[in-house]
Amino acid sequence: MRIARVAITALLSALAAAATASAADRLSAVVDAQDLPRLRSGAVLTDGLARGRPLRLAPAVSSADIIAADVKAMDPSVGAELLQVIRGNGPLLDSPSGMLLLYNALHAVSTMKGITYYSVTRGRQMPLFLQSYVIPSPGQAGSPQPDPVFGEIPRQHDLYTLQEDTSFGRNTYAEHVEALDDHLYLKMENLTTISYLLVPIISPHNLVSHIVVVPAGTDLLFYGVSCLKSGFPLGDMNSRTQSMENRLAAIAGWLGQRMQAMTKAAGVSAGS
């Protein structure tokens, strides 16, 4: 019996080591070699966008060219990139069941209500979204719908959302989600004119975020780029960039928390 237990322990250790090696190989295939050691040590990499300069932190996945072309065509006034590894201790996210958990986590729109970020202009932690929910169409902002939950992953999915945040107020957004071979891709853009202190500053389709999530074993590579285009004077561009970085960091933190919550719920369900 003891020999059998030792053999099982050795097998489990070998499987864990193989999963870790596979995750490391996956990350090294999509992340710049100079950035990878810092990401593995827990660093969060950020960079402001400069007009005419290519994206610096985007991982080498198939959606990267689409994102780069979209950002170039938009020619944003200000923008920011963020790249980090979200550590996990649950199931293998690059398995079919793990990808399904991740896909459903990206659609858990209502759980974004109440997440916080550091506001550079206010100098303190603030709620990012006061309201967040799915709506049936852009013209039905007052009709909250349940978050969609999938039993299998569709290749593409589109939805509309209503989000009220402390900077831009109450606005509707279009979200487009794609499930690709080795990652998930989300694009989000405003459908309503965004005002600040009652002054219109951002026209429709000019506040855009792209999110890429690459599962790597139990971990998740998160990349986000957020862009804003406006003819309105934006003031200190450094603080605008930092605020956009902080908003992306809040979304990454939210996704990590959702994955933990859904992994725990799936474990409880399986054990009940």
Q: What is the pLDDT of residue 59?
A: 97
Mean pLDDT by 10 residues, the chain (272 residues): 46 38 76 94 94 91 96 94 92 91 96 94 91 96 95 97 92 97 96 89 96 95 96 80 95 93 66 42
Structure tokens at 203: 């026209």
DSSP 50-81: -TTPPPSS--SSTTHHHHHHHHHHH--SEEEE
Domain of residue 91, residue span: 2-271
Other Cβ atoms closer than 10 A to 169: 15
Residue 234: CATH number of its domain:
3.30.530.20
Contact 223, 39 (CB under 8 A): no
Q: What is the pLDDT of residue 6?
A: 42
CA distance 86 to 223: 10
Q: What is the pLDDT of residue 272?
A: 41
CA distance 35 to 83: 9
Beta strands in the chain (DSSP E): 45-48, 78-86, 116-119, 124-127, 129-135, 156-165, 169-179, 184-190, 194-196, 199-202, 207-216, 219-228
Burial class (CB in 10 A: 0-12, 13-18, 19+), 7: exposed
CA distance 107 to 171: 18
Q: What is the pLDDT of residue 204?
A: 97
Tell which residue, 47, 43, 53, has the closest CA to residue 82: 47
**What's the predicted TM-score (pTM) here?**
0.88
Burial class (CB in 10 A: 0-12, 13-18, 19+), 109: buried
Count of domains forming the chain: 1
